[in-house]
Homo-oligomer: A and B are copies of this chain.
């Protein structure tokens, strides 16, 4: 197997882009990544998207994007794994380059929620759960996360606001990211006064559905000119694992086994030790996901992940900085694009280009894209 590197990154600001069509969002990010890689020409496009068929009545998105970007002729496909679609598209690009059959691949993650509002969006999001046994009962991802949160709080005897630190950390970090949806730090008092959405989750506990696109240019280092403009970011490992789709099918709903499996596989493949990891971009769609992801990745023991949000461990100067550019809560949660945003943000950290939020001497980043309650976990080490 050959080395695979990220030679270019691009992203749009995350937010409510009512005036920008789905295709234009994606193409803005793709063009940024192409420009950043100083003109490499992709042979393949892998598009990560979760909901365009439901929200925009658009399937066949890979070809649409290749076409509108002026690249008709190249390979183009869409990869879907719910919220992990972006991570899965990155993995497909990685496999294509690693196989030696594709020299240069463009990976784009895109999602557009605006244009539809209200129940239609919740129904679309619920297609990521088991439609015959969960969605049909009215269970939405947010309602499910509320149930999981309550169980976590009960089982591990959390104090009031025991999970508040995850949102506060994200908002503190979002303040330093010009592409974040929310760029303002939030105090605990503000969190405490927020409206309840799905008890016990208040407004700050739910990463906002958002529009956005992010893109990566992948290639092999031996194909690049010697004096390549950008610092290259090597993908040291890629691993994917699954769990039951439905939360109710798990013997232990408070353990993200796919998240654990994929991290273990990635560490094993890369030969990197957990202690060498300088930052962790987790999939914190809800605070309980963040806590369980920290536990599954081995940064905290079972039932103690929440404590890392209280003692500063996940802060920019902490033991294991997380959500370093705002995470899903403050950067925003553009569904199937989030996995690619994570890779772009981690690459910026490793390239020493993360601005105000730079982690000093960051060498190794762990990124993890989840679909559903870690039904899919796609993990990469950069």
Contacts and interface: CB of A to CB of B under 8 A. Distances in A.
Given A1-B100, A75-B240, A238-B101, A376 B59 contact: no
Contacts of A362: none
30 contacts: A1-B101, A23-B132, A51-B53, A51-B59, A53-B59, A56-B131, A58-B130, A58-B131, A59-B128, A60-B128, A61-B80, A63-B81, A63-B242, A66-B242, A67-B244, A67-B245, A72-B258, A73-B242, A73-B258, A74-B242, A75-B239, A78-B80, A78-B81, A79-B79, A80-B80, A92-B95, A95-B101, A95-B102, A96-B99, A98-B99
B77 A62 contact: no
A243 interface: yes
A57 interface: yes
Interface of A: 1, 21, 23, 44, 50-51, 53-54, 56-64, 66-67, 71-82, 88, 91-92, 95-96, 98-102, 123, 126-132, 135, 238-246, 249, 257-258, 261, 371-372, 375-376
Interface residues of chain A: helix, strand, loop or mixed (majority): mixed
A129 B241 CA distance: 32
A241 B66 CA distance: 10
A62 B82 CA distance: 10
A92 to B, nearest CB: 6
A221 to B, nearest CB: 16
A376 B45 CA distance: 12
A67 B81 CA distance: 14
Nearest to A64: B245
B60 A81 contact: yes
A131 B55 CA distance: 11
Nearest to A258: B73
A60 B1 contact: no
Given A73-B258, A75-B242, A76-B376, 7 more contacts: A63-B82, A63-B372, A67-B243, A71-B242, A74-B242, A76-B81, A79-B80
B88 A77 contact: yes
A123 B57 contact: yes
Contacts of A71: 242
Contacts of A135: 57
A341 B82 CA distance: 26
Contacts of A60: 80-82, 127-129, 245, 371-372, 375-376
A282 to B, nearest CB: 19
Contacts of A77: 79-81, 88, 91-92, 240, 376
Contacts of A51: 53, 59
A71 to B, nearest CB: 8
Nearest to A130: B64
Given A130-B64, A240-B77, A244-B72, A82 B98 contact: no
